[in-house]
Amino acid sequence: MNPPTNDAAPGTRGVSLSIILPARNEGPTIGRLVAKLRQLYPHAELLVVDDGSTDGTPDIARQRGARVITHPYTLGNGAAVKSGARAAEGKILVFMDADGQHDPADIARLLARLEAGFHMAVGARGKDSQATPGRRIANGFYNWFAGLITGHPVRDLTSGFRAVLAEPFRRFLYLLPNGFSYPTTITMAFFRSGNPVDYVPITAARRGAGRRSHIQPVKDGVRFLLIIFKVTTLYSPLKLFFPVSAVLFLTAVGYYIHTFVVYHRFTNMGTVLFTAAIVVLMMGLVSEQITALSYREGDRAR
C-alpha cells in the first residue's frame, strides 16, 4: 500500500486527498481521465475501483499511474464506492464518474466549499446536463421529496460527483446500498446527522456515441424512492409515521361522525381506526427516541 500523500492544491490546506473513480468497462475514457487528474493533482492518491470490467479498464488505469482495486465480478456502483472509501488514505475523498462526464477542473471548486466549513460538497448538474427530459423530471421530483423530508434544499440528490470529509463519510458506509442509489443515502444521512452539505453548480458532459448509462431509469428510480423511505425511517421516523397517524385519526373522526349521524352509535371500525392512529404515532415516537440514542452513542464513540 502506498504511503499517505499530501496534496497542495487550492482548497485542501495541505491535508491528504484521495480521488476515487468507480469504473466498469470505461476503457475508452479512463486513461485520459486519470492522466488529466494526475496533471492537476500530482500528489493526490488516484484510486480506480474496477467493478468487474471486461475491457481492460484496470490495466489502462494502472498504466496511467492510478492505484487499482479490482472486484472479481460486478458488485455495483455503491459497492465500488465503499471499497474505495475503505482503501483510501486521504482525509478528503473526491468521488467522480469514470466515464468522462465530470470535469476534473471542478474538483477545486468542491474542495473550496470544504475549506469553507462544509463536510460535503456536491456537484449539482444543471438542466442542460440531464440526459433526457424524463430523467430531468424524475431528478426534480427526487430533489423536492428529499428536501421535504430533510428540511433542507436539495439541488442534486443523485449526483455522483462530490467531495467529502473521510471520517463522517465512513461512519455511514454500513447504510450505503451496493447499487446506484448511494448518493441518495449519503446525502440524506449527512443532513440528518448535522454534517453541513453544500452544492456547486457544474455542467456534466454528455456521453459519447455508443456510450450507454449503466443506470436503468425505472428500476433504479424505484430504488431511489425506496432508499429515501429507508433513510427517513432511520433518521427522521416521525416525518413518515406522523402523517400516516394523522390520516388515520382524521379518517376515524370522519367515520365516527358518519356513523353517529346515520346509526347513532360508535362502531367497531371507528375503534380500530382510532387505535391504529395511536399505535402508529407511538411507533414513530419510539423510533425517534431510538434514533436520538443511536446518534448520542455515535458522538460519544468519536
What's the distance, CA 61 to chain centroid?
25
Strand extents, DSSP E, 29-106: 45-51, 67-71, 92-95
In a domain, 56, yes or no: yes
**62 occurs within a structural domain:** yes
Domain match, 68 and 205 both: yes
Whether residue 173 sits in one domain with residue 261: no
Q: Which of 234, 250, 281 is where one domain is finished?
A: 234
Q: What is the dihedral sign for C-alpha 213, 218, 223, 225?
A: positive
Contact indicator for 88, 18 with CB cutoff of 8 Å: yes
Tracing cell 433518521 back to the chain, one arrives at 235
Is 259 found in the same domain as 150?
no
The pLDDT of residue 1: 37
CA 181, CA 263: separation in Å to the nearest integer?
Answer: 51
Contact 274, 249 (CB under 8 A): yes
Separation CA 215–CA 183 (nearest Å): 13
pLDDT tens readout for residues 92-124: 999 999 988 999 999 999 999 999 999 999 999
Q: Count of domains in the chain?
A: 2
Establish if 242 belongs to a structural domain: yes
Q: Is 206 in the same domain as 250?
A: no
Residue 10 lies in a domain: no
Same domain, yes or no, for 118 and 221?
yes
- Tell me how far apart the alpha carbons of residues 96 and 78 are, in angstroms, rounded to a whole number: 12
The domain boundary, picked from 234, 254, 278, lies at 234
Domain boundary among 205, 234, 263: 234
Domain annotation covers residue 172:
yes
Residues 119 and 266 in one domain: no
In a domain, 3, yes or no: no
Owner of C-alpha cell 425511517: 233
Do 71 and 149 belong to one domain?
yes
Res 298: pLDDT: 46
- Domain CATH code at residue 28: 3.90.550.10
Q: Is the separation of the CB atoms in 202 and 161 below 8 Å?
A: yes
Strands 120-125 and 197-202, by their bridges, are parallel
The alpha-helical segments, DSSP class H, found in 12-132 are: 27-40, 57-63, 77-87, 107-115
Segments forming the whole domain that contains residue 270: 238-301
Cβ neighbours of residue 148 under 8 Å, at least 6 residues apart?
none
In this structure, what is the dihedral angle of CA atoms 243, 248, 254, 256, given to the nearest 10 degrees? -150
Query: What ranges in 173-216 are assigned the alpha helix state H?
Result: 182-193
In a domain, 295, yes or no: yes
Do 206 and 264 lie in a common domain? no
> Rounded to an integer, what distance in angstroms lies between the CA atom of residue 128 and that of residue 155?
14
Residuewise pLDDT in 10s, the chain (302 residues)? 343 333 434 444 444 899 999 999 999 999 999 999 999 999 999 999 999 999 889 999 999 999 999 999 999 999 999 999 999 999 999 999 998 899 999 999 999 999 999 999 999 987 766 556 767 777 788 788 888 888 888 899 889 999 999 999 998 888 888 876 788 888 888 887 889 999 999 988 765 444 555 555 566 667 667 767 776 776 678 888 999 999 999 999 999 898 888 888 888 888 999 999 999 999 989 988 887 776 554 454 45
Question: Per the domain annotation, does 11 fall within a domain?
Answer: no
Query: Phi/psi at 125 (nearest 5 deg)?
Result: -75, 140
Cα 262 to Cα 283: distance, rounded to the nearest angstrom: 33
Clarify whether residues 84 and 199 are in a common domain.
yes
Of 183, 177, 178, 175, the closest CA to residue 154 belongs to 183
Same domain, 28 and 170: yes
- 8 Å CB contact between 248 and 270: no
CA-to-CA dists, residue 207 to 97, 135, 156, 210, angstroms: 11, 15, 19, 8
DSSP-derived 3-state class of residue 199: strand
264 and 151, same domain (yes or no): no
**Residues 6+ positions from 248 with CB-CB distance below 8 Å:** 273, 276, 277, 280
What pLDDT is recorded for position 13?
42
Looking at the structure, do residues 267 and 224 belong to the same domain, yes or no?
no
